[in-house]
Amino acid sequence: MVSPSSSQKVALVTGSSSGIGFETCLTLARNGFLTYATMRNLNNSEKIKSVATKEGLPIRVVQLDVTEDRSINDAVHSIASDVGKIDVLVNNAGYGLNGAFEDLAMEEIKTQFETNLFGVIRVTQAVLPIMRKQKSGIIINISSAAGRFGYPGESAYVSTKFAIEGLSESIVYELEPFGIRVVLVEPGPIRTNFADGMVATKKSQNPNSPYLEIMKKLNAVLASIRENASSPDLVAKVVLKAVTSENPSLRYLAGKDMETWMEAKRSMSDEDFRKTIKQNFMK
């Protein structure tokens, strides 16, 4: 076992090959965390390795696909045998599924849940015995504005993020007695590979889809919303704030306009909020 210096905290981040996960690894490592940058495809590790080498950062790359039990167990066991602890888990890996609800195939919905929700569940369940034994730890679940309110065209994605919110709100009570904290980080639109990696449901490509025109317009709006996105570095800083806080909150917003949206959601009736969503998304 190669112990980190006794006070050095150990972090595991999923989906570290790009975007929020990538920036979170760099931010944690720059702030002294021994950071395990996990990713499903190690061919995508060159960029993070080169920054780590250039800056002399404590980053180790490990293969982890959140949809595969074996990959998760191998990764967690190798970290445990390497350093004997995991202080921070950042459940970040995820992607979006785009398409009108009726056009979503059940397989596409299941695949979306496999990564975005069951992935979080699998990795968290693998890490918890370690955190419970050490009687400390913090789990950061990267949710989304899509975990706080629904909008058209991405209902399966929204459902996974609502589920992460419910999961986190529930397990917080069970884990607190073991010194383990659970935090939701809720980004608004962030400039990453997310839009490019978005999976379009097959039926939505069909020229006979009754939702074709609606989705065309909607996707143009979603693209323009994403043009005004915040930097992933901003989310990484929020994660750092949460993990270094003495008493972290359950929720942290991250990104432009998130406060405004949340204030609207808090202060408006469901009916008025629905009108606001329609005005903003279905122009």
Ligand X SMILES: NC(=O)c1ccc[n+]([C@@H]2O[C@H](COP(=O)([O-])OP(=O)(O)OC[C@H]3O[C@@H](n4cnc5c(N)ncnc54)[C@H](OP(=O)(O)O)[C@@H]3O)[C@@H](O)[C@H]2O)c1
Q: Give least dist CB 80 to ligand X, A.
A: 19
**Does 136 sit near ligand X (CB under 6 A)?**
no
Instruction: Determine the 3-state secondary structure of 186 from DSSP.
Output: strand
Q: Give least dist CB 262 to ligand X, A.
A: 14
Exactly one of 157, 173, 211, 252 is catalytic; which is it? 157
**Does 41 sit near ligand X (CB under 6 A)?**
yes
In whole angstroms, give the CA distance from residue 268 to residue 72.
42
Q: Give least dist CB 75 to ligand X, A.
A: 10
Burial of 249 (0-12, 13-18, 19+ CB in 10 A): exposed
**Does 36 sit near ligand X (CB under 6 A)?**
no
User: Contacting ligand X (CB under 6 A), which of 10, 62, 66, 156?
Assistant: 66
The secondary structure of 95-144 as a DSSP string is --EEB-GGG--HHHHHHHHIIIIIHHHHHHHHHHHHHHHHT-EEEEEE--
Q: Tokens 């490990």, residue?
A: 62
**Does 153 sit near ligand X (CB under 6 A)?**
no
Q: Give least dist CB 131 to ligand X, A.
A: 20
Closest CA to 16 of 275, 57, 2: 57
**Does 144 sit near ligand X (CB under 6 A)?**
yes
**Does 90 sit near ligand X (CB under 6 A)?**
no
Q: Which two tokens stand for residue 38?
A: 């996990």
**Does 67 sit near ligand X (CB under 6 A)?**
yes
- Residues between 173 and 232 with contacts to ligand X, criterion CB under 6 A: 187, 189-190, 192-194, 197, 229, 232
User: Contacting ligand X (CB under 6 A), which of 12, 20, 109, 215?
Assistant: 20
Q: Tokens 């400039």, residue?
A: 191
Closest CA to 161 of 152, 179, 178, 149: 149
User: Contacting ligand X (CB under 6 A), which of 15, 58, 137, 152?
Assistant: 15
**Does 40 sit near ligand X (CB under 6 A)?**
yes
Main-chain dihedrals φ then ψ at residue 88, nearest 5 degrees:
-130, 130
Give the interface segment with ligand X, choosing from 16-24, 167-175, 176-184, 275-283 (CB under 6 A): 16-24
Residues pairing with 254 in the sheet: 187
Q: Give least dist CB 107 to ligand X, A.
A: 15
User: Contacting ligand X (CB under 6 A), which of 9, 11, 13, 19?
Assistant: 19
Annotation says 157 is catalytic: yes
* Cα angle value 211/215/221 (rounded, 5°): 155
Asked if 194 contacts 97 with a C-beta cutoff of 8 angstroms, the reply is no
Q: Give least dist CB 219 to ligand X, A.
A: 14
User: Which letter does DSSP use for residue 256 in this model?
Assistant: T
Q: Which two tokens stand for residue 234?
A: 């901003």
Active site residues: 157
Task: State the residues that interact with ligand X by CB under 6 A.
Answer: 14-15, 17-21, 39-41, 44, 65-67, 92-95, 115, 119, 142, 144, 187, 189-190, 192-194, 197, 229, 232
